[in-house]
Amino acid sequence: MPTDKERRCFSHIRAFMAGTREGMVAISPDRTVRMLNETAADMLQVTRGETVGSTASTLGVPELTHGIEEALTEKDVVRGTFERRNRCYSFTITPYEDGAATGSVLTLRDDTEILAATKRSEAILLSTSDGIIVFDADDRVTFVNPAAETVLGRGAEELVGLVTDTWTVFGLSANPDGPVKETGTQTREVRMEEPKHRIVDVRVDPVFDDRHTYLGSVCTIRDVTAEREAMQMKNEFVSTVSHELRTPLTSIKGYIDLILDGEAGEINEIQQEFLSIVKENSDRLVELINDMLDISRIESGRIVLKVQPLDIAERIVGAVNTFKAVTDQQGRTIHVNLAEGLPKAAGDPDRVGQVLINLISNAIKYSPEGGDVHVSARVEDSKVRVGVTDEGIGIAPEDQARLFTKFYRVDSSLTREIGGTGLGLSICKSIIELLGGEVGVESKQGAGSTFWFTLPLASERHVRTPSLEGPLGTPGGRILVVDDCEDVANLIGTYLSRRGYEVVKAFNATEAWELALEFEPRVITLDVMVDQGAGFGLLEHLKADPRTRDIPVVVLSIICDEGRSERCGCTGYLEKPIDKNRLVSVIDGLVGSIASPVVLVTDDDRNIVELLTRTLKQRGYAVMAAYDGREAMAAVARTRPDAILLDIRMPVMDGYEVLEALKANPETADIPVVIMSAYQLDSDRSGILDLATQRIGKPFDVEDFITHIEEVITESEPQTDVSGEDTP
């Protein structure tokens, strides 16, 4: 007879079993049912009276009978499933020791709803057009839908159960940043050739439960082949159309400019007025084409950004000066408000200038007559923030959200009158975001608008490379112009001839190569689309041959592929239609720098640099201007100077460090260095200064200083003996 304590314990167990949602059955070592709760009886459609004390077979489920026998024989947990009256059940049989014998506990669970939900989920996953691969926490593939099988060319029977890194499935190396459970979502564009050519976007997301336990990952595969090919077709179309438009526009715009400049003789007022209208509209057409090409380059990732430390104040002043003639004529003012000590930003000077000109131009156009424009710059949240404010009509809140989208223009009488493509702000947004900044607008209707953008501050990894400027004076020499359009070649030839150059023209790549060898020109201008793109091959050929590799090549092109041109070795790059003044300036600088000794001026005092640069250029020298030691080293790496003027006290990298670096490198050790300083020299570093060619104290007499430069350059030049051979 059971004791009272045993009866109370049994009563508690019965109460627990009666209240649980799972069916529970206790099996004695002799294979009879010892206990059965109400949930199990309901699931199995049996009564406690007919089953308790009877063999397990009375439960009426063969799977359970076999499972109980296996659990008691093997003394191990057994799991399985069975169906009964359109319901799906799972069971677990756990053996336990009952004295010297072994009994078991059977647990039943109704999984009908769970399985139904799972089947619905699988049906969704199976029918989706995106490929899906599911991995468990051990990187084992547990599910592959048909779309993924199609993309990979491998069936689920081959992939399920495979233990592998997600990216290995696509033939790629593992993510260098680590597994997805540590990095979070990972994405890549994958180009596949097997089983067929495809371009797919792959996204891998980690899966965590509510306790942040890593459960595995889900890989989503989207076939974007058609989208990418459509974009490529669009870009090719834009390039083709731009070629067909830009070539005649170059001639139209160029020859109109020549007529207006009086190059074809005197014109009367009516002719001047009519031609000015033609020029204005040709300029608008050029602007439209440039905007279309900028959008195409940005979307295809072919835009070239030259990020360097940027003096944003200098850029703003330059952009404002561009509109001086317009604002003076209209009696308006552009007010500039720059914070003191404005640090340098990280940006592309030309592209940031493009953004500033676009925003200031809009501010002028969309302000009522007489309204002023305000341009400001300050540091905000560790970024440089630039704002352009107008006194115009303002913008409604519903329009502000769409201003920076392509082709969107606020619908008003003023915007319809002014015209435009609606591309300018979209281009500005793309450029600034590519540079790591943000753009935005603040406006109230009737109270004007402020368009602003931010740029990150320049870091030590951003280094400006000083440009090479030729000497002042009358240019001269032979220039080879290569262009398959005779009208354009004649136009370029006219620009350069009137500047004093001798021009030789070639209309195909073969002729250009022969003339380059025959005439040894000072500079070559090259349209890389000559002979339907053979210009790139010609450029590579010119740079590979010792006879022509030192001839600077300026690419004049309509295809907007500056990156490829630079990789092939071009010295300069200008887009068509050609700006006459910019072309002449580039050619003047190159010709002058080739014919003249090159001096690198390095000083953090801009006034001294400007004084020495101007004086040296007047004396016939080519000059590079650097404002700290790192810029000086970047300049030397690009162009070897004939002499270096070096200040000792400079930020970032001082003169001592520059001098040591130059003399430690065999390729630069023999460059003459003239030290200039207004400070007491460091006694513990004075030995380094013995490496310099000369020392000059500040302040100095400019004429005397130039004499010193001429001396060190003359002394460093090889001497020629009577036999005509060079001697050190």
CATH number at residue 98: 3.30.450.20
pLDDT at residue 559 above 70? no
Q: Which of 61, 83, 110 is the last residue of a domain?
A: 110
pLDDT at 683 over 60: no
Which one has a higher pLDDT value, 25 or 651? 25
Which CATH number do you get for residue 388?
Answer: 3.30.565.10
Confidence of residue 197 (pLDDT cuts 50, 70, 90): confident
- Asked if the structure places residue 11 within a domain, the reply is no
In a domain, 198, yes or no: yes
414 band by pLDDT with thresholds 50, 70 and 90: very low
| Last residue of one domain, picked from the residues 456, 491, 510 | 456
In this predicted model, what pLDDT tens digit does every residue of 122-180 receive, in sequence order? 777 777 878 888 888 888 888 888 888 888 888 888 888 888 877 888 877 777 778 88
Q: List the structure tokens of 312.
A: 């944003």
In angstroms, the CA 574 to CA 590 distance is 14
Instruction: Give the domain extent around 705.
Output: 596-720
Tokens of 24: 């529970």
Regarding whether 510 and 487 lie in a shared domain, the answer is yes
> How confident is the model at residue 261, as a pLDDT?
82
Residues 214, 242, single domain; the answer is no
Are residues 375 and 319 part of one domain? yes
Contacts of 117 (CB under 8 A, 6+ apart): none
**Domain count of the fold of the chain:** 6
Helices (H), 20-111: 38-44, 48-51, 62-74
Instruction: Please check whether residues 135 and 196 belong to one and the same domain.
Output: yes
**pLDDT value at residue 719:** 42
Question: Is 7 within a domain?
Answer: no
Determine the average pLDDT of the residues in 623-643: 88
Same structural domain for residues 325 and 451?
A: yes
pLDDT band at 198 (very low <50, low <70, confident <90, very high): confident
Instruction: Name the token pair of 46.
Output: 């049996």
Confidence of residue 562 (pLDDT cuts 50, 70, 90): low
Residue written as token pair 């329009």: 399
For residue 326, the model assigns a pLDDT of 81
Within this chain, do residues 444 and 472 fall inside the same structural domain, yes or no?
Answer: no
What digits encode the pLDDT tens for the residues 302-347?
777 888 888 899 899 988 988 888 888 888 889 999 988 888 899 9
Tell whether 77 and 201 lie within a shared domain.
no
Claim to verify: residue 124 and residue 98 sit in the same structural domain = no
Percent of the chain with pLDDT strictly greater than 70: 87
**Residue 41 resides in a domain:** yes
- CA-angle at 350, arms to 389 and 421, nearest 5°: 60
Would you say residue 513 has pLDDT above 50?
yes
CB atoms within 10 A of CB 243: 14
How much is the mean pLDDT over the chain?
82
Please, are residues 517 and 547 in contact by the beta-carbon 8 Å criterion? yes
Continuous H helices in 472-605: 486-499, 509-519, 535-544, 562-567, 580-595
pLDDT band of 75, cuts 50, 70, 90 = confident
The verdict on 81 and 161 lying in the same domain is no
- pLDDT average, residue stretch 191-216: 87
Cα three-residue angle 323-326-328, rounded to 5 degrees: 105
Backbone angles phi, psi at 164, to 5 degrees: -160, 155
CA-to-CA distance for 556 and 573, rounded, in angstroms? 6
Q: Which of 205, 223, 241 is the last residue of a domain?
A: 223
The domain spanning residue 511 has which CATH number? 3.40.50.2300
Residue 496 included in any domain: yes
pLDDT surpasses 60 at 416: no
Q: Are residues 218 and 138 in the same domain?
A: yes
pLDDT at 297 (0 to 100): 73
Do 546 and 482 share a domain, yes or no? yes
In a domain, 725, yes or no: no
The 8-class DSSP code of residue 343 comes to P
Give the C-alpha separation, 65 to 133, whole Å: 38
d(CA 95, CA 195): 51
Four-point Cα dihedral 584, 585, 588, 590, nearest 10:
-110
pLDDT at 456: 92
C-alpha distances in Å from residue 718, one per residue of 112, 119, 711: 95, 87, 13
pLDDT digits (tens, 9 = 90+) for 27-68: 888 888 888 888 888 888 888 888 888 888 888 888 988 998
- Burial category of 309 from C-beta neighbours within 10 Å (exposed 0-12, middle 13-18, buried 19 and up): buried
* One domain for residues 668 and 585: no
Answer yes or no: is pLDDT of 186 > 70: yes
In a domain, 728, yes or no: no
pLDDT at 408: 63
Residue 5 falls inside a structural domain: no
Task: Encode pLDDT of 360-377 as tens digits.
Answer: 988 888 776 668 899 999
287 or 212, which is more confident? 212
Give the tokens for residue 1.
């007879």
User: Minimal CA–CA distance to 481: which of 502, 509, 503, 500?
Assistant: 503
Alpha helices by DSSP H, listed for 568-654, are 580-595, 606-618, 629-638
Q: How is 141-163 classified by DSSP, letter by letter?
A: EEEE-HHHHHHHT--HHHHTT-B
Confidence of residue 720 (pLDDT cuts 50, 70, 90): very low
Whether pLDDT at 267 is above 70: yes
Query: Would you say how long the chain is, in residues?
Result: 728
Residue 264: pLDDT band with limits 50, 70, 90: confident
d(CA 601, CA 623): 7
Residue 656: which of 629, 626, 624 has the closest Cα? 629
> Which residue reads 């468990």 in tokens?
136
Whether pLDDT at 514 is above 80: yes
